[in-house]
Structure 1
Amino acid sequence: MHTQSRNLTVLAALLPLAAVAACGSQTVSVGSTPVTGVRWNVESVTVDGATAQAPESAYVEFPSADRARGYNGCNSFDAEAEIDGDTIRIGRSTVTMSMCMDKKQRDFEKTFSRAIGGSNEARTDGDHLTLTTDDGDTIALVKERPAPLTGTEWTVTSLLSDDVATSLPKEVAGRARMTLEKAGEAGKDGAATGSLGCNRFRAKAEFRDGHLTLGRPVTTRVLCQGPRMATERALLKLFAQKLSYEIQGRTLTLTAPDGTGAVAGAGRG
């Protein structure tokens, strides 16, 4: 039976990331496997000998050696953490308070919440990470493979300006999307297609030396108002120039030389 009290404080919303961001970005490993800066998808959770399979969306990540955050299939959490050798301690946590309608999600959330807090023995095996509590409960995780740059539909979630990310207005959320295609045979050019939040577009795309260059886009001519048009104008500035790109898990960051850019997430198949 469970006797250890889990140190979880439930709040209505997550603390702002700026307030909980850790200093430094040094990679921390368990054994020879880096555990920070990696998105770990939850495979299953075992509590009191009973194993529950995780929803596909559940994950845990350690952005630094003193933070843990993730999603339990129903709510997001952000917690204090400490990685010391093969021990990972999860401390006080803030948790969103969404009410999931699916009973399986609610049941898994309860199981996950019992297992995630306190001191855990960490064991790695290739792309797998297992956290085991003092009570013998376990969380089985597997490293998420980065989404491929091409062939993935990327949905823009925020705009960048000098390393500051601003979420898209709700009127535009989910509307701005882009799919990249590499050059094919017979001289076919690479391409970028999708929606700018208002109009659809197509443009040439060139991949070279870790950079992406988007040509001038051909767009439809719908006239949108307010946030949709403002977002479209901001995204249009990323065309006709060389962009640096970075993929972390299922997140793509595009950055122009002047520090502007966009952050996008990959949809799950």
Structure 2
Amino acid sequence: MSKPRALVVLVPLLPALLLTACGTEGGRGSGPGAGTVSPDLPLTGTHWTVDRVTVGGSASGAPDGARVTFGKDGRVTGSGGCNTFNATVTVRGDTLTASPGPMTEMACSADRMRFEEELVKVFSGRLKGVMGNDTLTLTSPDGRNALALTAERPAPLRGTTWKIDGLVSGKTATSLPAGSAGKARFVVGEDGRVTGNLGCNNFSASARNDATTLTIEGPAATTRMMCASPQMTLETKLYELLDGPLSYRIDHRALTLTDASGEGFTAVAVEAAASTDGR
């Protein structure tokens, strides 16, 4: 008696049926890419200039100085063009969740204060991020609020107004003497001259630079005003430092200059419109 032919046909079909079932289990739909998760937005270590803020469908252009920086461990710092703020963020795929932190409380013009309030309001809670080559757009779930940003380029040594904000001794950084902050700044011009203010008096000097060293050639010429003691103390220190070669390092918009002994100062890039002394 011959064997039933039906068994010979059905058995080879079972593995194919099992493979088909396993292949679809756990998917999030059909078609190419089903079940995949979008990679996290690569925001750590990026710097952005704020272009505009949209609240309730109404857009406002940003003032000079409005920016957002994404640091490590979800920490964010920024400015609305007047005050600085901090926040923490978590990123999951293309969704960013922002939690506002401390903010300074300086008084500025009404327009800047209004923009700042809108910026902080929008940069809060869940936001969907879309990145282009040099752009980032963060939009609220309902699409009515949005933040448009453009990648901020590192500041070049030449042509940038650098505001001196600290002193360096070896690996130790200290604040400027009390009462002397805010005025000391300088510009390395394309013509090879350095001009600026040392905290009290304006100065100018010839200079040259390569990729790592700025060399002041000869003593700086200065005006002869007398100022308060803290400003004169800072000026004396800076005048001594600006006498010979200085190693420099730029970290985006922060500059550190030191001499051979490790003595030096730090500075930050400022907007051209904010520079009124020593230009």
Q: Which amino acid aligns with 1:219?
A: A
Tell me the residue number matched to 1:268.
272
1:93-132 equivalences under 5 Å are 93-102=101-110, 104-132=111-139
Give 2:94's aligned residue. 86
Q: Structure 2 vs 1, CA of residues 90 and 260 (structure 1 numbering), >3 Å: closer, same or farther?
A: farther
Structure 1 unmatched runs, 5+: 1-28, 185-189
SS at 1:217 equivalent:
strand
Structure 2's unaligned 5+ residue stretches are: 1-38, 274-279
Structure 2 SS opposite 1:98: coil
Q: CA deviation at 1:225?
A: 4.9
Amino acid at match of 1:134: P
Q: Deviation of residue 59 (structure 1)?
A: 1.2
Does the CA-based 8 Å contact 1:79-1:90 persist in structure 2? yes
- Alignment of 1:146 with 2:154, yes or no, is yes
**Structure with max Cα Rg:** 2
Report the equivalent of 1:13: none
Q: Which residue of 1 aligns with 2:66?
A: 58
Residue in structure 1 matched with residue 217 of structure 2 by the alignment: 215
3-state secondary structure, aligned to 2:272: coil
In the alignment, structure 1 residue 194 sits paired with structure 2 residue 196: yes
Could you list the per-position Cα deviations for residues 136-164 of structure 1 after superposition, in whole angstroms to 9, with x for gaps in the alignment? 22111111223332233322222223444
- With normalisation by structure 1, the TM-score equals 0.73
1:38 is the counterpart of 2:46:
yes
Match among 243, 247, 258 for residue 244 of structure 1: 247
**Deviation of 1:227 (Å):** 0.9
CA contact (8 A) 2:62 2:115 kept: yes
SS in 2 for 1:261: strand
Separation (CA, whole Å) in 2 of partners of 1:259 and 1:108: 42
User: Percent identity at matched positions?
Assistant: 39
CA distance change for structure 1 residues 216 and 115 in 2, over 3 Å: closer, same or farther? same
CA distance in 2, matches of 1:259, 1:85: 44
How many residues are treated as equivalent by the alignment?
232
For 1:244 and 1:38, locate their aligned partners in 2 and report how far apart those are by CA, in whole Å: 25
Range with greater deviation from structure 2 (161-170 or 203-212): 161-170
- Measure the CA separation in 2 of the matches of 1:36 and 1:235: 35
**Matching of residue 258 in structure 1 with residue 261 in structure 2:** yes
Contact 1:147 1:266 (C-alpha < 8 Å) held by counterparts: no
| SS of aligned partner of 1:107 | helix
State the 1:222 CA deviation.
4.4
Instruction: Determine the structure 2 residue equivalent to 1:134.
Output: 141
After TM superposition, the structure 1 = structure 2 runs for residues 161-240 of structure 1, keeping only pairs within 5 Å, are: 161-169=169-177, 171-182=179-190, 190-220=192-222, 221-240=224-243
Residue identity in the other structure for 1:98: M
- Secondary structure in structure 1 of the residue aligned to 2:71: strand
* Structure with more of its chain in helix, by fraction: 2
Q: What RMSD in Å do the two structures reach over aligned CA positions?
A: 2.7
Question: Larger relative CO (CA 8 A, sep 6+): 1 or 2?
Answer: 1
Distance 2:51 2:228 in 1: 44
Is the contact made by 2:68 and 2:76 (CA closer than 8 Å) also made in structure 1? Answer: yes
Partner secondary structure for residue 158 of structure 2? coil
Instruction: Report the Cα distance in structure 1 between the residues aligned to 2:210 and 2:105, rounded to whole angstroms.
Output: 44
